Amino acid sequence: MLTEKQRARYERQIILDEIGEEGQQRLASGKVLVIGAGGLGSVSALYMAAGGVGTIGIVDDQVVELSNLQRQILHNTDRIGTLKTTSAKLTLSALNPDISIDTYNVRLDEENAAQIISGYDIVVSALDNQETRYVVNSACVSLRKPLVEGAVRGFSGLLMTILPGKGPCYCCIFPKSSCDPYLTGLIGPIPVFTTTPGIIGILQAQEVFKLLLKTGTPLVKEMLIYDGLTSSFYHQEVKRMPGCSCCGSLN
């Protein structure tokens, strides 16, 4: 049961027909893992904490740098040199002390991915490298965990939700032999405008809320593409690839 303090905190969404107290309790029982505490992870984690997701895990092995602060709103100038996981927990706990924040100061790889991901209901991919995306995708497919994928570059971004066996996985859309235009072929850091991760990150949080609340229509079998220079959104159908090396055997 919700406490009076919790009812007051979440009043504006509890009064929504799609949520109510039952939905808010469902959020409180939810466990979501955010992989990456950068631009995308900052916003998605912040809004999930605000909305009352009961347990949020944060995976990141880096420290806060000055160049992060243009877009990574979980961190601040005083925390330069601090572990991003530590900084993230400080910010999220200050916003909502009623939720649990688990931190993993590691780089997710083939050795630890399944063990970490297995403890969560949903995974948010907030990464800036393709190698780890494939690792996360493979683990989520194997464990049949929903994966909310987001990517940004410059003024543009993309978003999709992967439900293993019910739609394409990341490898179906971006096979390892292909070039992902968001993440490969770049020299130096990926250029990102300050608001782009915020827009895609908040939509990642929205996908998580829909999945936990079992309401609305998640972005499965379609990709949402954002163009910040025209403030436009486009939907593109995406399909499972027959014989996909990652999810081809799933029914």
Structure token digits, residue 216? 């609305």
Please list the ranges in the chain whose pLDDT falls under 50.
182, 184-185
Strand 122-125 and strand 232-237: the pairing is unpaired
Chain CA centroid to CA 148, Å: 5
**What pLDDT is recorded for position 189?**
80
**What pLDDT is recorded for position 178?**
60
Task: Check the CA dihedral 192-91-104-82 and report its sign.
Answer: positive
Structure token digits, residue 52? 């009352």
Query: Which single residue is written with the structure tokens 């800036």?
Result: 128
**What pLDDT is recorded for position 78?**
98
Distance CA 203, CA 207 (A): 6
Full strand arrangement of the beta sheet holding 232-237: 100-104, 55-59, 31-35, 122-125, 147-153, 156-162, 222-227, 232-237
- Reported in sequence order, the residue ranges of the chain that DSSP labels E, i.e. its strands, are 31-35, 55-59, 100-104, 122-125, 147-153, 156-162, 222-227, 232-237
Domain ranges of the chain: 21-237
**What pLDDT is recorded for position 180?**
53
pLDDT in tens, 114-134: 999 999 999 999 998 889 999
Distance CA 161, CA 66 (A): 31
Q: Which residues pair with 57 in a beta bridge?
A: 33, 102
Structure token digits, residue 214? 């079992």
Distance CA 20, CA 22 (A): 5
Write out the CATH class of domain 21-237: alpha beta
What pTM does this model have? Answer: 0.95
